[in-house]
Amino acid sequence: MVGHQDQGRRILIKFGGNALSGEGDLERFAQDIASLIASGLRPVLVHGGGPEISQEMERRGLKVRKVSGLRVTDPAALEVAADVLGRINSDIVGTLGRAGVNAVGMSGCDAAVIASKMPSVKVTDEQGNDVSVDLDRVGDVARVDPERLEATISKGAVPVIYPICADPEGLQFNVNADTVAAHVARAAGAREMVLVTDVPGILKNGEVIRSITLSGIDALIADGTITGGMVPKVDACRTALMNGVGTVYMLNGKDPHSLVRKLLRGEDTGTRITVG
């Protein structure tokens, strides 16, 4: 049960585009956030929007290409990503407001998440040759200046951040939302990070892995069990755990009230990731 040790417990919660796309998913999620706050937790939210960005790109006749789970983003794709993520952010902030949560929507730029251009990614092409792919306007996180986040959190408000970030010159980049989450977790002083996605956790042969360490994850990348969007996700787990976050959980957003069940009732659901 919740005790006074939960008062002020900061927690980073990241959720993906597919996780809350079903009927009533977002409303249930907002109720869970309200319950966490009522129990004394201080959530900080980061969201993605991968499927919606892909749909909108296709609608505008743009080609979707992903390398190592990251979207190759030319300036036209960046514009789509910023539009779509900004719209999703407004929806989320509105739904949270109706659930009684004082939410403040912000981009990574607003939240002082400073980007740097992602180096080219080495991949093997269909002919088996090693090639290097420039992801264009895809960023990594250089650092987060915590003052803006702190100003929001200390007012008792919940930052809701979408992952369009700028470098120190103001050039904008699309950053994977899991990556932003890991860096924001550290800047906000969160001891726990929860990645809410559209699968029940890290899967191996169709089964959920209940608990895993970073070296266990290395083995699953090496043997090809972890692919696609799960690659930046486990990289983000590593970043968070190496930077002072104690535990990362991966939960299924399709599983009703999994956040409350995990964080307030301690139920054994999803995957728990620790340093080892």
Nearer to Mg ion, 201 or 229 (CB): 229
Closer residue to Mg ion in complex, CB, 139/229: 229
Does 49 bind Mg ion (CB under 5 A)? Our answer is no
**In terms of CB distance, is 54 or 152 closer to Mg ion?**
54
Cα distance between residue 176 and residue 103, in whole Å: 22
Q: What does DSSP say about strands 164-166 and 172-175: parallel, antiparallel, or unpaired?
A: antiparallel
Please return the burial class of 215, using the count of CB atoms within 10 Å of its CB with bins 0-12, 13-18 and 19+. exposed
Interface pick for Mg ion out of 43, 201, 229, 270 (rule CB under 5 A): 229
Q: How far is the CB of 154 from ligand ATP (least distance, A)?
A: 27
User: If contact means CB under 5 to 8 A according to the sort of partner, which of Mg ion, ligand ATP, none does residue 17 touch?
Assistant: ligand ATP
Rank residues 9 and 257 by Cβ distance to ligand ATP and give the closer one.
257
Q: Residue written as tokens 């899991």?
A: 178
Contact 248/2 with Cβ under 8 angstroms?
A: no
Q: What is the rounded CA–CA span in Å between residue 153 and residue 66?
A: 34
Cα(127)–Cα(116) distance, rounded to whole angstroms?
31
Do residues 64 and 71 touch, judged by C-beta distance below 8 A? yes
Name the residues that contact ligand ATP, by CB under 6 A. 16-19, 48-50, 177-178, 197-199, 202-203, 225-230, 233
Counting residues that bind Mg ion (by CB under 5 A) gives 1
Which positions touch Mg ion (CB under 5 A)?
229
